[in-house]
Amino acid sequence: MSKSSGIIIPIICGPTGSGKTSIALQLASEFPIEIISADSRQVIRKLDIGTAKLTRQEQKSVPFHLLDIIEPGEKYTAFKFIEDAEKAISDILRRNKLPVLVGGTGLYLKALTVGILKIENENIEIRAELEKELAEKGSEEMYRQLCEIDAPEAEKFHPHNKVRILRALEIYRLTGRPKSELVKSSDYKKSSYDFKHFCLLPDREKLYKKIEERVDKMIADGLLDEIKSLAAKNLIEPVRSMNVIGYDELIKHLDGALSLEEALAMIKQNSRRYAKRQFTWFRNQLEGEFFVDSKSLIAQFKSDYANFEQ
């Protein structure tokens, strides 16, 4: 493997709390790495402790990209992530460094590696109408509608796949064009680079324990004070709108809806559930190599990218 524009870009991914960033930092001691974050929470400025961002001092050890790029409440799409990630990859390769994507946001990773449609004007009313129709008519009838509108897209999944049925119908009602047609147009974007996933899927019970310990550490590090600081800057509503685990629950505590103990228990529960969803997503959606521990992942990475060693 050579240092060229034809390099296969590595992606270190896995559920929250699995140790992805620690692995990347360890590899940075042996490889000329620059890290591109693929985390939908870490793009948000001022949300630091609860999103497990590295400290400013820690970030000095290796260049990071796509951290702190939007304000609380600002929209950031997977379509935009592709643009930003591609620009970062190009810049890093031009400096003869190795870009490594690190994160667990499946939507971003799938958009980058598989592609995504650009839908600018998502409509809450249309989605609500479709969900009502689904409840009344069932998935088979909604699938039949999709077959009439967009047979090529309908052939890609099972008639009971409610999520994909609704999304394909939503795209048609938003744009007046079937998804299969849009995929062939300029409204569809996919990275021009090739990627390889190194996915860390540790033992679940150990991961859940680690997640709970991390929540306790976030509190000890001042997460509640960070949220109070956001409140002093009139940023609570923008933060609330972004539905970030850890912030939602503690905002409810500050509102008086939850005790601190209840909020902490809810953060841990929601974090475990999020990790479980990520496990399922990576197993079902990802093509790549899976590792149960950091040691085996690092060994495989070193083997694959030996020519990039410092």
Which letter, b or e, does each residue of 215-227 get, where b requires 16 or more Cβ atoms within 10 Å of its Cβ? beebbeeebbebb
**Which residues are CB-contacts of 225 (< 8 A; sequence separation ≥ 6)?**
none
Query: According to the model, what pLDDT value does residue 2 have?
Result: 37
Where exactly does CATH 1.10.20.140 map onto the chain?
Answer: 124-182
* pTM score: 0.82
Domain 8-117+189-202+285-308 has CATH 3.30.1330.10: no
CATH topology of domain 124-182: Histone, subunit A (1.10.20)
Where exactly does CATH 3.40.50.300 map onto the chain?
Answer: 8-117+189-202+285-308
Residue 72 CA to residue 226 CA, distance in Å, equals 13
Query: According to the model, what pLDDT value does residue 5 have?
Result: 54
Mean pLDDT, 10 residues at a time, over the chain (310 residues)?
A: 67 96 95 97 97 88 95 92 96 96 94 80 78 94 96 93 89 88 80 95 96 97 98 97 96 97 98 95 87 97 88
Query: According to the model, what pLDDT value does residue 167 have?
Result: 85
